[in-house]
Structure 1
């Protein structure tokens, strides 16, 4: 199917359309990486260094993509990664949840999301709630209990963040709230992107920059920067803290941000169900290798003891297959679906998921594999110097 007004054939096309539609500050917030963007770039480029070893006959007539992650059966090995306050589309995470549900997969909802967890679970019962270590243990437990009551199927604790906010090319300015002063300042950006502005206007106003999932019962939802300030003042978590939270949550439990085999082993020790090999999309410590480079060593260290996911740089179905062949159970996507939503709302998210599903199927066919569970490292051609992380 050729690209049309309502359909795009690649994630790259979704990104081009997103850039044309979004105000500059909103778009830059989606593509930004810390400092020089070395890790951000490597997340994507590393996949191009990996080759395939295809077959040409006796290929499978059908290919199976279904798998199980964090206790949930999903139709293909792609999960929505949690992302923070979204100013991409008025329906935000609820639209993403509906698209994921239609595709038969799960959504990770950020604690910094713009929509309440109750609304997102209503749109997609396969919701995983993501938390940072923000506030006291009592407040953290309060949020976990709210997620449990809402129907979240798993808890994801993200640890790969060191408040690295510097961008060598300049960070996009984000107002604390869209008051009159902020609207005047950002008006020129909105005027030159009228479709984005009109979309929000039809839904009752400008983006809400509050974080409803971080509000205690009876409290007003804090602004993004209010919540961020509390986070910065919270003592950094220890593995004992993470173990404590795992003990409070009796369902599937994931630790996101693993790049070192030692940390993967610690996640196993505290009883985690899954880990996500991730460098926070290139928004943490710049110079960290791509997630896919770290994946083999992590899988070798703990892969038979815990579910291993990969987050970072996925742009094609073939990228998903490469990650699975290296030992991942599934992948998580962030920027890709946000570009899809910017390009065409909920339908754009569905479009991105279909692109990835089709690409996985095509790669399985070329490799002669009838299932994602049949993929092995021998299906790949990996350069000797590809991994740039500790091996023990």
Structure 2
């Protein structure tokens, strides 16, 4: 048996592709339309260089910080992603991995595991709320999350109705039944390890592609696509809607999906604890610049008023350091940990977080910094015109 440990996130991706059926893997790499934003999210990091010191490195370096009141051991948290059926333990495996590495996790409304199961294995869970159905329904889900022990609320605003993909949308069944299994049989047959891993004591453990967190505890949730359909039929929220939800939720509150200076200021005005500079991993309006290009101007404008996080394109610890140097409190990772989960379950997610930690520590050492809190733009070499500043910001 080959060594289950991998040394880079890209190796985790390679192993995920090798293990997963084509449709399942495609769902982890797809982006909107041509994939311009998807590609720029990753490639933009390569345009930023470092200005290292070669003498005076510190023997020990501090990586810990806090996000929305939760102490974390490194400036990386788990971004919420929907149905994680690349592993039979799904979100519970991810939550355990995050807890073992001392960090927090965002749990999607469209997760395949109930929030109560996830908070049972990780004390630092932020529940992600989509604007789905009525205000009363949204508040009831938020209250369920609070009762389960969620420490904060993430309101995701950076997912549009764009479904076009130049390479085609992946074939994902509405539910996993005999008909679906027969249809996917040729793909599954090509990935015998994936099929074997879904067996437990000789009986198949079929992934339940439902969304248990959009209903009351104990009720059977709709299928993932049923919940998605409800979301598509719900009118998008206004700033007044978000202000209302903020009033109802008296704990830490993040608005995810900020790309403009004026939107960042509006998030501050409604009392947000944190914002995430994000374009939904390239699954929103294609042609939106990479998140890292917009981070610095937004952090400069509102970083003293609200915690600023980055989501999008992070593949290594040095990417994290670049984001922190531009003003991010921490980053949120999505595809990176999903590839780890697909490659080796909980241990694969832990592996990815260890890769991030090692890369952050190495970059700090090279830059002669003792702590991530010492990082500044002076540590970076940035080309002219790299940053994208748009949306009027009323200076306060």
The answer to whether the superposition gives a TM-score over 0.5 is: yes
- 1:385 and 2:385 matched: yes
Q: Which runs of 5+ in 2 are unaligned?
A: none
Q: Tell me, yes or no, if the aligned pair for 2:97 and 2:350 is still in contact at 8 Å.
A: yes
The whole-number CA distance in structure 2 between the counterparts of 1:292 and 1:381 is 14
The whole-number CA distance in structure 2 between the counterparts of 1:198 and 1:208 is 17
Q: Structure 1 residue aligned with 2:53, among 52, 55, 67?
A: 55
Q: Structure 2 residue aligned with 1:126, among 124, 127, 133?
A: 124
**Alignment partner, residue 30 of structure 2:** 32
**Alignment partner, residue 175 of structure 1:** 173
The whole-number CA distance in structure 2 between the counterparts of 1:236 and 1:121 is 28
Deviations 1:324-353 (A, max 9, x none): 000000000000001011111110100000
Q: Tell me, yes or no, if the aligned pair for 2:256 and 2:275 is still in contact at 8 Å.
A: yes
- 1:353 and 2:392 matched: no
- Look up the SS of the partner of 1:296 in the other structure: helix
Q: What does 1:1-392 correspond to in 2, within 5 Å?
A: 5-202=3-200, 204-217=204-217, 219-390=219-390, 392=392
- Runs of 4+ in structure 1 off by over 4 angstroms are none
Normalising to structure 2: TM-score of the pair? Answer: 0.97
Q: How many residues align?
A: 390
Q: CA RMSD in A?
A: 1.2
The whole-number CA distance in structure 1 between the counterparts of 2:206 and 2:185 is 11
Q: Tell me, yes or no, if the aligned pair for 1:86 and 1:113 is still in contact at 8 Å.
A: yes
For residues 86 and 99 of structure 1, do their structure 2 counterparts lie closer, same or farther at Cα, with a shift above 3 Å needed?
A: same
Q: Tell me, yes or no, if the aligned pair for 1:297 and 1:391 is still in contact at 8 Å.
A: no
Deviations 1:2-60 (A, max 9, x none): xx612100001000000000000000000000000000000000000000000011111
Larger deviation: 29-38 or 174-183?
174-183
Q: Tell me, yes or no, if the aligned pair for 1:139 and 1:216 is still in contact at 8 Å.
A: no
Deviations 1:170-199 (A, max 9, x none): 000111111222111101111111111111
Deviations 1:149-175 (A, max 9, x none): 000000000001111111001000111
